[in-house]
Amino acid sequence: MPWPQAMSSTPGSPTGNAADLYALISSNADLTQELFRQALQDPSGALERIVAIGVRENLPVTSAEVKAHIATLDDSASKQWLLKARGGL
């Protein structure tokens, strides 16, 4: 799933570093596909993995920030992922 180009987050934003983290993830096509596949089978695990990637890349996020950012995305692929993964998010 191609993740949309993200804009930098605003301090105090409900999405925190999530936009910057998604931009980083989207720059790696293999990782993006792995996360998409994982989200379809194990949404909670995919979310935990995104949070862990954020820690590793010095872009810490909470699961709530990731969910809030996904909810703001205006592209059909991300919204489809969110609908399919909703059970674990």
Q: Where are the domains of the chain?
A: 18-88
Q: Which residue has the tokens 């990731």?
A: 66
- C-alpha distances in angstroms, 87 versus 2, 14, 45, 57, 82? 21, 21, 12, 27, 9
Model confidence, pTM: 0.74
pLDDT digits 0-9 by tens, 35-84: 988 988 888 899 999 999 999 999 999 999 988 888 888 877 776 766 76
